[in-house]
Every structure is written in structure tokens, then in C-alpha cells.
Amino acid sequence: MPYRNPEIETMDPKDLRQMQSEKLVKLVKYVYDRSPFYKKRFDEFGVKPEDIKSIDDLGKLPFTMKQDLRDTYPNGMFCVKNTDVVRYHASSGTTGKPTVVGYTQNDLDLWAESLARGMTAVGLSEDDIIQVSYGYGLFTGGLGVHYGSEKIGATTLPASSGNTERQITLMKDLDVTAICCTPSYFSYLIEAAEQMDCSIKNKTKLRVGIFGAEPWSESLRKRIEERSGIKAYDVFGTSELSGPLFIECEMQEGMHIWSDMFLFEILDPETNEPVPDGTVGELVVTTLMKEALPLVRYRVGDLASLETAVCKCGRTHPRLMRLKGRSDDMVIVRGINVFPGQVEYVLVKFPEVSPHFMIVIDREGELDNMAVQVELADMASDKLDDYYKLKSGIQHELKSILNLHADVEFVAPGTIPRSEGKAKRVIDKRQY
């Protein structure tokens, strides 16, 4: 099994922790000296850089929130001069202002290196042709993966998002072997390719998919792999940390978090105390090597669990298990937390429907109503009763997963909007 950096990737966990410890001490001093934001935050919290002597003191540090990035818009948290910033990206703000992130040349190299390790771990190399179907531009997905692909010496096809027919034509004609995009867009590509009589499974050379930017389930992985004949890997990252960063290895048992670059904690959202391995909690990340926009104990807003046991692939770095959803993707219906990923998990069990869906929440009087619009796929019957049975079957499964009744509404194939970036899964019509 190939490693890109065997020395680091298989380093003894104790040595890794020691390395993290040293880098953390330096980081704390670095941000305190360079960022007025962090100086103020640490002072208010009553912590001085010299109080942090090792990784064991991590819990003494204050958190950084997404709101801090918004409050210091556009670059109030940066730790380098503007002239040292070689790239900006920005994520769309749902509440007005975007969040701006910046990179030094070293930051860009580090980002690409992180992805290059992951791409190597799924068996990609200079012999591969990688189609990057994440959007290019301010969104970090496209350019991030692009540089990772170049770093391993692969041939990069910067397809960006959109123009689905051309994507499929190029995939076939250029013998593309790997693709990076959102899992929902890839599901759409599978369908569209079949309609063009260019089945991805039978008529292309595609063998690897790296899918992220939205939470997806194990059962969707199975379905994608069966329908397209490729191996599908999860990738995690977010623009505040750079962009897409960590990919699963060939074992498909979690995304390797490079501990020499990042320090991950999973905390109980109520107590802020670390949870044991395998327990879902809130993801908190400290960047150990970033220069332009380092983050200390950043609350990413994702719910996930970590596995620290050494992986079967030999890599000693901890693994981030499949995300359970973003805390901000979550909707609360009748006081119950609902993640779109849970709905997807249910739907992929029913071959009669497609994995494309939309949750519609409305309010009647004081009561929330949740409906799930579901697209029919391999379902055709002349009898209403067959539709009723399917509907109540799905409703029953939803109820057992969500602990909440949701009305299933069937819609015609192809009518749920296909997104080329992150899929929009929720329409909330409630007025407060």
C-alpha cells in the first residue's frame, strides 16, 4: 500500500502527539503575537501563551467561533500582512456577509500536500486522470482538489460544475479514472450518463470517486458503487480550515486526519468535555501549521466521531468517521433534531425511489408539519395500492429513524432540482 510520506503517516502515535504538543505551544505564541483578535480573546479569557506548556493544556484555551470570522470581516483575524497573502477564498454567507479566508504560499502547499496524501491513499498516482467537478472560484472545492491532483502528478481535468453532458463526454473520451464532486451531483451524473447511453459503469474508465462538501451515508456509498462500478471515498474539509483536506484510505473506514497539520477534538456540545472514541460530538479543530489564518479550537459546526486506533492500512493518524450532519444543516421539527442525512439513509433502502429528495417544513397553527418530496425511480404500477404501500413503507422507516411523522409525497422523476454544489435539501416555510 503506497504512502506519500511513510515516515509521517506511520509515525508512532506517541511521537505524533509530542509533535502536536510542540506545534501547539508555538501556535499559541504565534497567534497571540500577531493577531489582535487572539490577543484580546486570550486576555479576556485570562490565559497567556506561557500557560500552554504542552498539548495537555489544550482545554485551557478559548474557542473560536464562525461568528468571530464574520465579526472580523474581511480579514481581521489574519496573522500575516496582506502582501504575504497569495490567495483568498470566500464562502457564501447565509446571513449577508461572506466569510473570507486567506492563504500564504506555505498554506497552499500544505493544503495540496494534505490532499495529495489522501489521493495516494486511495491508489491515485501520476498515471491517473482526475476530473474536478467541484465548482472553481471562490468555493474552495474546485481549486483545492485541483492542486492536490497536480501535487501527485496526475492529469487534471478542471471541469468545474455544470454542463453535465460535456462532463460525461469528456469523462469517456479522455479516459478519466477519478472524479471529485458532491455525492448528489455524482448520483445525477450516473443517471444522466445512462440517458446518454454512456453508462459510467460500462462505457468509461472511471474507478475512483472522492465525494464531499455535504454529508452522505454508507448506504448511498453502496448504491453509488453498485450503479457506477467505482470505489467511492468520503472527503472532509471546510473553507475555514483551507477547503477539502482529508480523504479516506482504501479501507473506507474513516478519513485520515493528518495530525502533523491539524489537531482534532470531539467534544460534548453541552459540557465541552472530550468524548470517548467512537462517540458523536462536536468537532473542534486547531490548525497547527497554517500561517495566514490559523485557528485555535475552532468550532466547525459538524457533528462527528473520531477513531484513534491504528488503521488497517498502517496509518497511525486518527480517523474522522462519517459526518452525522452539520449542526447548521439541522432543522428542528416539533422539537426534534432532523438531519437531511437521516432522510437520505432511509430513502436509499428503497430502490423504487431516487436518492434525490426535498424536506418541506410548514406550520399549521402551533404545529410543525414535515413533508418529504421523494422522486420515483424504478417504480411503475397501474395500481394505486402499490403506491400506498410504498408510501407507508417509507413513512414507517422515517418515523423509526426520526421519531417523527413525515408525509411522503411522490414527485415525478427528475423534478427535484439537481445541485452542482451542495445539495439544498430543506425548504423551511415556517413563519415565526
**Which sign, positive or negative, has the C-alpha torsion 74, 104, 243, 272?**
negative
For 198, counting Cβ atoms within 10 Å of its Cβ (0-12 exposed, 13-18 middle, 19+ buried), the class is middle
Q: Which is nearer to another protein, 28 or 376 (CB)?
A: 376
Q: Does 380 bind another protein (CB under 8 A)?
A: yes
Residue closer to another protein, measured from CB, 143 or 353 = 353
Residue 376 contacts another protein per CB under 8 A = yes
Does residue number 364 form part of the binding site for another protein (CB under 8 A)? no
Distance between CA atoms of residues 418 and 396, nearest Å: 26
393 binds another protein (CB under 8 A): no
| Amino acid at residue number 52 | I
Q: Does residue 12 belong to the site contacting another protein (CB under 8 A)?
A: no
Does residue number 388 form part of the binding site for another protein (CB under 8 A)? yes
SS3 call for 121: helix
User: Segment contacting another protein (CB under 8 A): 100-108, 215-223, 304-312, 379-387?
Assistant: 379-387
How far, in Å, CA of 418 to CA of 416, rounded? 6
Please report whether residue 45 would count as binding another protein according to CB under 8 A: no
Q: Quick one: CA dihedral 51, 57, 63, 69, positive or negative?
A: positive
Considering the rule CB under 8 A, would residue 367 count as an interface residue with another protein? no
Cβ at position 347, least distance to another protein in Å:
16
Least distance between another protein and beta carbon 429 (Å): 16
Contact flag: residue 404 with another protein (CB under 8 A) = no
**Cβ neighbour number for residue 365 with a 10 Å cutoff:** 4
Backbone phi, then psi, for 9, in 5-degree steps? -65, -25
CB closer to another protein out of 126 and 197: 197
Structural contact between residues 138 and 144, judged by C-beta atoms closer than 8 angstroms: no
Residues 96-125 that bind another protein (CB under 8 A): none
Q: How far is the CB of 381 from another protein (least distance, A)?
A: 6
Question: Is 47 or 360 the residue whose CB approaches another protein more closely?
Answer: 360
- Given the complex with another protein, which of 320 and 376 has the nearer CB atom? 376
**What angle, 0 to 180 degrees and rounded to 10, lies between the N-to-C axes of helices 384-402 and 340-347?**
140
- Binding-site size for another protein (CB under 8 A) equals 16
- Residue of 54, 105, 279, 381 interacting with another protein (CB under 8 A): 381
Nearer to another protein, 125 or 415 (CB): 415
Q: Is the Cβ of residue 7 or residue 382 nearer to another protein in the bound state?
A: 382
Smallest distance from another protein to CB 173, Å: 24
List the helix and strand counts (H, then E) for the chain: 12, 21
Tell me which residues in 63-92 interact with another protein (CB under 8 A).
none
Tell me which stretch binds another protein (CB under 8 A): 34-42, 91-99, 278-286, 376-384.
376-384
**Class of residue 43 by CB neighbours under 10 A (exposed 0-12, middle 13-18, buried 19+):** exposed
Query: What type of residue is 363?
Result: R
Q: Which of 169, 181, 291 is nearest to 233 (CA)?
A: 181
31: left (phi over 0), alpha (psi -120 to 50) or beta: alpha
- Helix or strand or coil: residue 394? helix
Which range, of 119-127, 256-264, 313-321, 375-383, touches another protein by CB under 8 A?
Answer: 375-383
Contact residue for another protein among 3, 410, 424, 428 (CB under 8 A): 410
> Does residue 382 bind another protein (CB under 8 A)?
yes
Helix (H, G, I), strand (E, B) or coil at 207: coil
Residue 384 interacts with another protein (CB under 8 A): yes or no:
yes
- What is the 8-class DSSP label of residue 82? G
Residue 379 interacts with another protein (CB under 8 A): yes or no: yes
**Binding flag, residue 412, another protein (CB under 8 A):** yes
Measured CA to CA in angstroms, residue 406 lies from 68, 307, 328, 362, 366 at distances of 36, 33, 21, 11, 17
Which residues lie near another protein (CB under 8 A)? 376, 379-384, 387-388, 409-415
